[in-house]
Structure 1
Amino acid sequence: MSLRLSTVILPVYRWSEGREVWRRAEALGFGAAYTYDHLSWRVPFRDGTWFGAVPTLTAAAGVTERMRLGTMVTSPNFRHPVTLAKDLITLDDVSGGRVTLGIGAGGTGFDAVALGQEPWSPRERADRFAEFVALLDRLLTEPAVSSQGTHYSAVEARTIPGCVQTPRLPFAVAATGPRGMRLAARHGQAWVTTGDPALYDEGTPEQSLAAIRGQVERLEAALGEAGREAAGMHRVLLTGFTPDRATPFASVDAFVDFAGRHAEAGIEEIVLHWPIPNSDFAYDPDVFERIATEAPAQLA
């Protein structure tokens, strides 16, 4: 099985520049291009240019033709399933059915309190995530939905004409814990990991790889409990958050070694951050483009 390479383009570009970045991503052959769905993000991006995910993806749909587009990832922090469903149906239509929704429980950063709410406990965050995904699933597959939930409700919400993709656009569920894994097994067409956050600062590449292998095994167990075949779940690694986060971008050979080891652990798609100077993603643009164009043949 060949490994798919994709990219994530942070929404930091005015569209006069951004359109060329998205066009270039498609020209380089990436299978998909995602963007973060935050109101703002960590330093050094906190006080800089940062645009909305759905308008950015809609604009990207107009300047690309082949590659898939999506969020990496959307969360309940500042979204509601009813309004999000309407935006996603529109985006799926504009793109001709090329949208994947990356979705996660969200973190405790700036987005978590931007609307004036108190920070949610880990349990409430997990409860909200489960309710959010289940309702969104219904909204994207049924023409009219009424649902009374603890956190999210819908009253005769119309989502006509529905998605171009049937029965709806795919969900890529970011999850590592038991509840999230079960949610991915019930509603996801793909699963997303960034590795084990506990290993970010002091872990080793070997520990990280073992942790990802363990996550894949737990995902497969959750799929079995849900009565689904493991082969039906696409498995995605978002790079940039493992202990060896910079090493793969030193050369094409270094990346092929990194990607090959993760493919053996069960990963089917690797997402690379588009290079951004003066950030954690300040990779050599020439090496990045060589990885995009040369690595796929070596990983086939």
Structure 2
Amino acid sequence: MRLSTVILPVRRWSEGGRDQWLRAEELGFHAAYTYDHLSWRSFRDGPWFGALPTLTAAAAVTDRLRLGTLVTSPNFRHPVTLAKELISLDDVSGGRVTLGIGAGGTGFDATALGQEPWTPRERADRFGEFVPLLDRLLTEDAVSSEGDFYTAHEARNIPGCVQRPRLPFAVAATGPRGMRLAARYGQAWVTTGDPKLYEDGTPEQSVDAVRGQLDRLADACAGIGRDAAELDRILLTGFTPDRTDPLRSVDAFVDFAGRHAALGIDELVIHWPIPDSDFAADQAVFEKIAVEVPAQLG
């Protein structure tokens, strides 16, 4: 099992932001991701920087660490401009980028451009058009396409990605349409567990829910003749009923990780601690987990 982290873009680069990404590489994390939002929940009235510029800066100061978004969505992105930025980021990083991508939600991003929030069906419809077009834009030199939501007119993306045929997609999905997109276009699948269990569920119920999601992913893959084992399976932690409890000690985290490894999860992503927030945790314990747990899990 791989262990990764997610670093929220809440610190100025010159005031500790740079140091976090360097430290993530020093600690041996497989990857460091960041949220691709314009703002997020309780952080809305504080500092929040752009995901892709932050990742570009991180790419320039690291050598081995994979970098990515968890997750990008159509809420304020267009496939044509996003593809150009991703190709540039992949080039700067030397081919170390993974695009986490999802349908988006109803948070601040959903209305920041002045639109009404999309319904779940509208988000699914847009996502179903967004992902295939982005796939083409990242793999073809020139693309023209006219859809219900997104249009590309002779969009050029030369020389393309360093990673071939393109940088990997980690598709966040729980519903049937999203699962089919993950099966067809994903190199990885992402879950945060079942949000319905966050407040009142139990850790055991959460594990059962993730098991069910994995079963549905396997069905979606079987439906197109793809082996589900070809996809990496990523759990972004912090949104299951146990929340930050696994970060209280190395033993607690090993237990948490073991239960999910048994399901088939092969990458766990833990939030870099942020004091006085939902992601508060002991930095020393966090770093001890980063160093000691991968060797214990094998």
Q: TM-score range by the shorter chain?
A: over 0.9
Query: What residue number does 1:66 align with?
Result: 64
Q: Helix, strand or coil: the match of 1:140?
A: helix
The separation in 1 between residues aligned to 2:159 and 2:295, in whole angstroms, is: 40
Query: Which SS does the other structure have where 1:261 is aligned?
Result: helix
1:40 and 2:36 matched: no
Amino acid at match of 1:94: V
Secondary structure of the residue aligned to 1:208 is helix
Which of 203, 206, 211 lines up with 1:205 in the alignment? Answer: 203
Is 1:298 paired with 2:268?
A: no
- The answer (yes or no) to whether the contact 2:232–2:266 under 8 Å persists in 1 is yes
Count of aligned pairs = 297
For the residue of structure 1 that corresponds to 2:41, the secondary structure is coil
One-letter amino acid of the structure 2 residue matched with residue 260 of structure 1: G
Of residues 78, 84, 97, the one that matches 1:99 is 97
Displacement of 1:113 after TM fit?
0.6
- Name the SS for the 1:249 alignment partner: helix
Indicate whether 1:269 and 2:267 are aligned: yes
- What do residues 6-56 of structure 1 show as CA deviations (whole Å, max 9, x unaligned)? 00000001001111110000000000000000000001x010000000000
The residue that corresponds to 2:258 in the other structure is: 260
Name structure 2 gaps, 5 residues minimum. Answer: none
Counterpart contact for 2:180–2:220, Cα < 8 Å? yes
Answer whether contact 2:103 2:127 (CA < 8 A) is retained: yes
* Structure 1 residues without counterparts, runs of 5 or longer: none
What is the TM-score when the length of structure 2 is the normalising length?
Answer: 0.99
| Alpha-carbon distance between aligned partners in 2 of 1:184 and 1:145, rounded to the nearest angstrom | 22
Instruction: Report what 1:109 is aligned to.
Output: 107
Equivalent residue for 1:26?
A: 25
Aligned mates of 2:64, 2:198 — CA distance in 1: 34
Aligned counterparts of 1:190 and 1:226: Cα–Cα separation in 2: 16
SS for the counterpart of 1:156 is strand
SS in 2 for 1:267: coil
Instruction: Give the deviation of 1:86 after TM superposition.
Output: 0.1
Shift in Å at residue 125 of structure 1? 0.6
C-alpha separation between the residues in 2 aligned to 1:121 and 1:148? 22
Contact 2:103–2:124 under 8 Å retained in 1: yes
> CA offset at residue 245 of structure 1?
1.2
Q: Matches of 1:263 and 1:237 in 2, distance apart?
A: 10
Deviation, structure 1 residue 294: 0.4
Match of 2:159 in 1: 161
> Residues 183 and 228 of structure 2 are in contact (CA less than 8 Å); yes or no, is this contact kept in structure 1?
no
- Which residue does the alignment assign to 1:82? 80
Counting only pairs closer than 5 Å after superposition, residues 229-244 of structure 1 correspond to structure 2 as: 229-244=227-242
CA distance in 2, matches of 1:255, 1:122: 34
> Any residues of structure 2 matched to 1:126-141 within 5 Å, and which?
126-141=124-139
Q: Deviations over 1:97-116 (max 9, x none)?
A: 00000000001010001000
Residue 255 of structure 1 aligns to a residue whose secondary structure is: helix
